[in-house]
Amino acid sequence: MIDINVLRNNPDLVKENIKLKFQDHKLPLVDEVIELDKKNRALKKQGDECRAKRNTLSAQIGMLMKAGKPDEAQKIKQEVAANNDKIIELEKEEEKTSAAIKQIMMTIPNFVAKDVPVGKDDSQNVQLETFLEAKEKPFEVPYHTEILEKLGGLDLDSARKTSGQGFYYLTGDIARLHSAILTYARDFMIDRGFTYVIPPFMIRSDVVSGVMSFDEMDNMMYKIEGEDLYLIGTSEHSMIGRYMNTIIDENKLPLTLTSYSPCFRKEKGAHGIEERGIYRIHQFEKQEMIVICKPEDSEYWYNQLWHNTVDFFVSMQIPVRTLACCTGDLADLKYKSLDVEAWSPRQKKYFEVGSCSNLTDAQARRLGIRYKTAQGTVFAHTLNNTVVAPPRMLIAFVENHLNEDGSVNIPPVLRPYMGGKDKIECKK
C-alpha cells in the first residue's frame, strides 16, 4: 500500500505507475480515492468541531448549575445530546469512508523501481546473468516422474487415491534427498548469519490481507472452514505477520531470518505437460529468507538475498540464471523482483526455482510494521526470497545429476546429509 500523501499530492505519478504495470482498469481508482479522502477529511473536521462544541457546552452546563439555573442547564443538555447524536453519525460515516479508502488503496500497486524492465507479462522478463555452464546430456533425459519412479522414489497413483491430483508420495532415497536438501538449506542460511525460525502454518485473515494482494489470496490460499484461519502458501506470510502492528527498536535492524514450512496452494488454472508431475502441486516444503530493514538498506539486502539462492544452487552443481521480472509480471506489492531459474537438460531451457522480491514499505504499511528513530517512527522495508522449494527443485537436481544408466549423482555438499552416499541407484 502506497503512502496516501503521495496520491494526494501527485496523483499523476500514481497513474503513470499504474500504466507501467498495464493495469489501466485501475486508473479511475485514483480519482475515486481522492474524492473519498476529501470527504473523509471533511467528516473529521466536522467531528472535531462537534467535539469542541460539546466541550464548550459541557462547561456551560457546569456554570449554570453552579449559578442555580437548572432550567437553562437542561436546555443546554438537550443541545449536548443532539450534538452527541451528530458525532456518532459522523464517526460511523467516517469509519465507512476510511474502510472504502483502505480497500481501494490496497488494490493500487506499489511503485516500481526505475531499473525494472517495462513489459506486459512474464514473456518479457529479461535475463541478467548465468551461473555454471548449462550442458545438454549426451543421452535422452526422461520426464522427471519416470526418473524418480525408476529410483523408487515417487508414487503419484497412490496420492491420487488418497488426496487427488496435485499430491505425491516421496519414498526411499528420494524422500531422504528431499529432506537432505532442506536441512542443507537451513544450515547454509544459518552459516550466512540468518536466524532460523519455524513459524505457524496457519494465519488469520488480517495477516493474509496484509501480506498479499486480493487476487493472489483468491488464487493461492486454502481457508479453514468455520475458522478465521488460512493455510500458508509460503512461510513469508506468517514470518512477516509476526511483526504486525509492531514498533521495532532501530538497533535491532536488520532482522535477517530464514524459515522452514510446509506450503499449501490452490494453483488454479490449467498447466502444460512440463508442469505436471511434481512441478505444480498443492503441498510442498520450502526454506525461505525474510529481511526487515531500514529503507536505505533494502537495495543491499535485495542483492544479498538473490545471491544466496544462486550460491546455494551452484554449490549443488546446478546451473542457474537470474531473470529481472518486468513491470507487468510484478504483483501489486512488489517494487522489484528477480527470479532464479534452474537449467533443465530435458527441456533444454531454464525454469523457475525461486523468486526474490523487494516490497519497500508497501507491505509494512498494510501491517503497521515500523521502527523507532530519534525523530519518530518510520515504516520498515520488507523483502523475501526462496532459498529452495523441493520437490520442484528435485526436477532440476535429478535431471542435472542423471547418469545414462538412470542413477543420480549426489554432489559433495549433500553427502553428509545422505549418510555418505555419492549416488542413488535405480531399483530393480
The answer to whether residue 268 scores a pLDDT higher than 80 is no
H/E element, 277 = none
The verdict on 168 and 242 lying in the same domain is yes
For residue 184, give the nearest of 260, 264, 283 by alpha carbon. 260
Q: What is the pLDDT of residues 170-186, one digit of tens each?
A: 999 999 999 999 999 99
CATH code assigned at 52: 1.10.287.40
Mean per-residue pLDDT for 215-225?
A: 81
What is the radius of gyration, based on Cα positions, of the chain? 28
The verdict on 264 and 131 lying in the same domain is yes
Query: Which pLDDT does position 270 carry in this prediction?
Result: 46
The verdict on 154 and 301 lying in the same domain is yes
**Considering 50, 71, 105, which residue would you say is the last residue of a domain?**
105
C-alpha cell at 195: 536466524
If pLDDT is split at 50, 70 and 90, which confidence band does 278 have?
confident
Predicted model pTM: 0.89
Total domains in the fold of the chain:
2
DSSP state of 155: E
Query: Which pLDDT does position 266 carry in this prediction?
Result: 87
In a domain, 114, yes or no: no
In a domain, 223, yes or no: yes
If pLDDT is split at 50, 70 and 90, which confidence band does 215 have?
low
Q: What is the pLDDT of residues 9-51, one digit of tens each?
A: 999 999 999 999 999 999 999 999 999 999 999 999 999 999 8
Query: Which pLDDT does position 62 carry in this prediction?
Result: 84
The verdict on 82 and 143 lying in the same domain is no
Cβ atoms 167, 229 nearer than 8 A? no
In a domain, 69, yes or no: yes
Q: What is the DSSP secondary-structure string of 315-336?
A: HTT--EEEEEPPGGGS-TT-SE
Instruction: Count CA within 13 A, CB hemisphere, residue 186.
Output: 14
The answer to whether residue 81 scores a pLDDT higher than 50 is yes
Q: CA–CA separation, 236 vs 193, rounded Å?
A: 18
If pLDDT is split at 50, 70 and 90, which confidence band does 273 have?
very low
If pLDDT is split at 50, 70 and 90, which confidence band does 391 have?
confident
The verdict on 159 and 268 lying in the same domain is yes
Strands 246-249 and 369-373: parallel
Name residue 383's beta-bridge partners: 291, 358
Query: Which pLDDT does position 269 carry in this prediction?
Result: 54
In a domain, 384, yes or no: yes
Mean per-residue pLDDT for 81-98?
A: 91
For residue 362, give the nearest of 330, 325, 334 by alpha carbon. 334
In a domain, 113, yes or no: no
Q: Which residues of 113-149 are buried (b: 16+ CB within 10 A; e: fewer)?
A: beebbebeeeeebeeeeebeebeeeeeebbbbbebbb
Query: How does the average pLDDT of the chain come out, rounded?
Result: 92
In a domain, 111, yes or no: no
The answer to whether residue 95 scores a pLDDT higher than 60 is yes
If pLDDT is split at 50, 70 and 90, which confidence band does 369 have?
very high
Q: CA–CA separation, 186 vs 180, rounded Å?
A: 10
Cβ atoms 32, 11 nearer than 8 A? no
DSSP state of 402: B
Residue 50 lies in domain: 4-105
**Considering 105, 137, 162, which residue would you say is the last residue of a domain?**
105
Instruction: Count CA within 13 A, CB hemisphere, residue 227.
Output: 10
Q: CA–CA separation, 64 vs 58, rounded Å?
A: 10
Query: Which pLDDT does position 412 carry in this prediction?
Result: 98
The verdict on 411 and 302 lying in the same domain is yes
The verdict on 67 and 129 lying in the same domain is no
Q: CA–CA separation, 320 vs 309, rounded Å?
A: 10
Q: What is the pLDDT of residues 395-414, one digit of tens each?
A: 999 999 999 999 999 999 99
The verdict on 308 and 163 lying in the same domain is yes
Mean per-residue pLDDT for 55-74?
A: 85
The verdict on 94 and 126 lying in the same domain is no
Place of cell 473529521: 44
C-alpha cell at 53: 462544541
In a domain, 28, yes or no: yes
Query: Which pLDDT does position 70 carry in this prediction?
Result: 84
